[in-house]
A and B are shown apart, each in its own frame.
Chain A
């Protein structure tokens, strides 16, 4: 990961409406973006109202968009990333910071991969397209609702030309 990527990511996290207590560590966010979109990408911060959207590109080609979100689990915020490709299909999600003592299984690959390829038109509800996790029901519900909201926002903003 490049220093430039870290700087842009730091800027994006710093102005996120979630507030500093719920922000993702810049290094974690940079590592997540690198995992999802590959190394050597350019990350720009775009603003839509009070939201910060990350645009990821390589050279002249757009690779996708991403946004950091926060939802409340049992009583702590869960900080996660939603990444979409240029066709508004969900590329992947990443749990950046999990603060609760229980329910951290929402960060596990077998659960996260259920979201890949979904669009805003798909059912992103627990029990209808998304399976739950035994012992992590609250976190599953919270993260699923958060992903659904961000995917809907990113799709709407992209289709409206607010992000490009």
Chain B
């Protein structure tokens, strides 16, 4: 709708800021995924082992001990707060995109916040209830990552179009 604020209507300096924030966030998020791959191999058994610990005699690799309650609280609050900020920024970016489907736009904005809550609930359930919740954690984290890359793509595409039209 033409009466809505979009990237094309904003000053070029704001678009430059948005472009670079998006690029840096892409690098940061990708690095975090590499870190998770390095520590868990991105498989449910590796994820469960990272939080619940593994048999110290089971391999010659670095030992993994179960995360303490205090560590679980630290991981939860630091990730929830920092990732919420990331998705506030990408959500704002998507909100300013001129997508044809308003429903899709709203879904892309809201989905990461729901996925964050599901992911961290799954993390606690995996640690203290059943290691099989690693599957839920992996699924919700996967959806979260895909949404982040889709959001970033849409923002960068919109910014490139706005630059071309200017």
Q: Which residues of A contact B (CB under 8 A)?
A: 101-102, 104-105, 108, 110-111, 131-135, 137
Contact = CB atoms under 8 A, between A and B. Distances in A.
A141 to B, nearest CB: 12
The secondary structure that dominates the B interface is loop
B56 A111 contact: yes
A105 B56 CA distance: 12
B74 A134 contact: no
Contacts of B64: 133-135
B62 to A, nearest CB: 4
Contact of B65 (A101, A105, A137): A105
Given A111-B56, A134-B39, A101 B63 contact: no
Given A102-B71, A110-B56, A131 B65 contact: no
Contacts of A137: 62
B56 A132 contact: no
B7 to A, nearest CB: 41
A110 B63 CA distance: 9
Contact of A134 (B60, B63, B70): B63
B65 A133 contact: yes
Interface in B71-124: 71, 74
Nearest to B40: A134
Contacts of B57: 110
